[in-house]
Amino acid sequence: MNQSLRHISFRRIGTSEVHLRYLEDDPDLRSLLGPRPKDADHLLKLAPIGAERLVPPAELGAALEAYAARHGASEKSIDAARAIGAGEAQVVVTGQQPGLFGGPLYTVFKVATAVRLARELSARPGAPRVVPVFWNHSDDHDLDEVNRAFFVNPNMDLQRVRVDVEHNGRAVRHIPIGAKIEHAMAAVSDLLPQTEFRDEMLALFEKRSDDETLGDQMARLLFRLFADDGLLVIEPRDLPRSAFDPLPGWFTRADEIRDRIRIASEHLSDLGFDVTLDPGTTLMFALHANGRRQALADGEEFEGPETLSPGVLLRPLWQDAVLPSLGFVVGPGELSYLAIIAPLYKALGVPRPAFVPRASLTLVEASMVKHLDRFGWDLPDLVEGPEVLARVLPEDGQGPAELALEDAISDVRQRLATVSDLLRESDPQMVGQLERTRGKVTDELDKLMVRVRNSRQNRQGTGLRQIRRLCAHLRPRGRMQERVLTIVPSLVAHGPAAIERLIAAADPFQIDHGVLQL
């Protein structure tokens, strides 16, 4: 058992209702999402092993190999692509939009879960070779969402880093960041400690050319971090031409697709789930030569299949129509979408993989564990924020300076009260001036007491600064760490070895949130 890993129920720490009930094997969701795999053998029984896909293996393998070679992937990744091309391997897939400096932690946790699952499936007797694949969704055009990375600065505040580039409705794939990344790199460098791994890890994000994109940066990072497991990465525009052939046919069935989505949404609502996905959301976009991604109205004309880019409702189906997917590693939000679109797998003739919730983790340093233990707190407590937590913090024993200052403040208050009484008898007109002076004096003395107390508490590790550190790192702005911070500080602190720790912690069949001490 990993002594540095413990778990907290999602009922304590919070998650989406669909995610929670899927983990708890809710029978109402089973009819939509299928059974949740309990272990590798169970998943293999559920998986569409050997199902026919739209892209011939040779074409898919060649595209995966070319992409891997272009981004300097390891020989194990090249070999994995060739195995897919020869029809000798199936895949576990996960995906996300490319994010600056790797995006939020959950992206790396998705990949770690896929890698761990591929290992476990490949190790089962009689199982096929299984390769992890990351769908690097650079078709996305929400630049504001992906062009940001949050770090904790020396003041224990969140600091946002971004690249100063123009958007203009273009897909992320068509927005070069290479010429502008140096400023962001300098900002991040100032926020990171000096360690033996610092230069090596920061070099992963240095530009290779001015035309480099966020997709390029993401691919290079993941190929490096998961090189030993032969991870493959692909962007939609790097798929073979045959991958786009089904999209026009799907688009012509927009009315049918929307009817099925509406029925599934109403069914979920009847089951007590909060359905936030609009069934009228865009099904298909057109990706123009200038990089602009334009929403298409149902039935609108387009230039050709290769210009089509599925929206959020059809993207998972396209992925699983193209890749020989046995398992699909997904986040809580994706599960909510999949509960609505799952009926489309059968309707569109797409083999449905088993849906596997990604590992959910909070990364903690040893010093933070000590502070949590000293305060008697756990992650759910930190959602209150540092100011509230500071007010309920038990007082430690006061030091000699505080005791002496407390006595002095009490003595000053008493003496000034005595002077006030005497003035009321001898010179009442001076009482007002004395009261104003007394207010200023006692206020300054109280402020001094706070500073003395905070100084002592900071030295003892129990002051507001330590509370702010815990909240900023473990529940930034009251949110889950994995949804805000990046993997970069952990890589700088612990080097590539941190990734193997993540893979070991990313149990694909775990139903609770993990707290991993690095």
What strand order describes the sheet that includes 5-8? 5-8, 513-517, 361-364
Residues ≥6 apart with Cβ < 8 Å to 138 = 97, 98, 171, 172, 173, 213, 214, 215, 235, 236, 237
Q: Is residue 428 part of a domain?
A: yes
Asked which of 37-46, 327-336, 370-379, 456-465 is least confident by mean pLDDT, the reply is 456-465
Q: Is residue 294 part of a domain?
A: no
Q: Which residue has the higher pLDDT, 434 or 472?
A: 472
Query: Is the same domain home to 471 and 486?
Result: no
Residue 482, pLDDT score? 98
Query: Is the same domain home to 185 and 53?
Result: yes
Distance, C-alpha 118 to centroid of its chain? 21
Query: Is the same domain home to 54 and 88?
Result: yes
pLDDT in tens, 258-269: 999 999 999 999
Average pLDDT over residues 196-214: 94
Q: Is residue 450 part of a domain?
A: yes
Residue 288 above 90 pLDDT?
Answer: yes
Q: Is residue 272 part of a domain?
A: no
Residue count of the chain, please give it. 518
Average pLDDT over all residues of the chain: 93
Domain boundaries, position 46? 5-247+306-360+482-517
Q: Is residue 494 part of a domain?
A: yes
Query: Is the same domain home to 353 and 471?
Result: no
Domain count, the chain: 2
Q: Is residue 257 part of a domain?
A: no
Pick the closest to residue 518 from 360, 505, 10 (CA basis): 505
Query: Is the same domain home to 471 and 499?
Result: no
Whose tokens are 């991958």? That residue is 243
Residue 41, pLDDT score? 97
Residue 204 above 90 pLDDT?
Answer: yes
Residue 480, pLDDT score? 97
Q: Can you give the pTM of this predicted structure?
A: 0.87
Report whether 187 contacts 481 (CB < 8 A): no
- Letter for the amino acid at 474? L
Residue 492, pLDDT score? 96
- Letter for the amino acid at 182? E
Residue 427 above 90 pLDDT?
Answer: no
**Within 10 Å of residue 155's Cβ, how many Cβ atoms?**
10
Residue 393 above 80 pLDDT?
Answer: no
Query: Is the same domain home to 334 and 230?
Result: yes
Residue 402, pLDDT score? 80
Residue 395, pLDDT score? 59
pLDDT in tens, 299-339: 999 999 999 999 999 999 999 999 999 999 999 999 999 99
Residue 190 above 70 pLDDT?
Answer: yes
How does residue 214 score in pLDDT terms, banded at 50, 70 and 90?
very high
pLDDT in tens, 81-100: 999 999 999 999 999 999 99
Distance of alpha carbon 468 from alpha carbon 454, whole angstroms: 13
Average pLDDT over residues 416-425: 87
Query: Is the same domain home to 473 and 497?
Result: no
Query: Is the same domain home to 332 and 470?
Result: no
Q: What percent of the chain shows pLDDT beyond 70?
A: 97
Cross-strand bridge partners of residue 150? 160, 485
Q: Which residue has the higher pLDDT, 328 or 420?
A: 328
Whose tokens are 């930190």? That residue is 382
Q: Is residue 12 part of a domain?
A: yes
Residue 458, pLDDT score? 66
Query: Is the same domain home to 311 and 382?
Result: no
Q: Locate 230 and state its tokens.
A: 């032969």
Pick the closest to residue 214 from 321, 307, 100, 109 (CA basis): 100
Pick the closest to residue 68 from 87, 82, 52 (CA basis): 82
Residue 504 above 90 pLDDT?
Answer: yes
Query: Is the same domain home to 227 and 314?
Result: yes
Residue 294 above 80 pLDDT?
Answer: yes
Average pLDDT over residues 412-416: 89
Query: Is the same domain home to 376 and 316?
Result: no
Residue 461, pLDDT score? 55
Distance of alpha carbon 147 from alpha carbon 172, whole angstroms: 9
Local structure of 513: helix, strand or coil: strand
Residue 161 above 70 pLDDT?
Answer: yes
Residue 392 above 90 pLDDT?
Answer: no
Residue 1, pLDDT score? 42
Average pLDDT over residues 275-280: 81
Query: Is the same domain home to 196 and 78?
Result: yes
Residue 171, pLDDT score? 96
* DSSP 8-state secondary structure symbol assigned to residue 432: H
Q: Is residue 280 part of a domain?
A: no
Residue 3, pLDDT score? 62
How does residue 22 score in pLDDT terms, banded at 50, 70 and 90?
very high
Residue 517 above 90 pLDDT?
Answer: yes
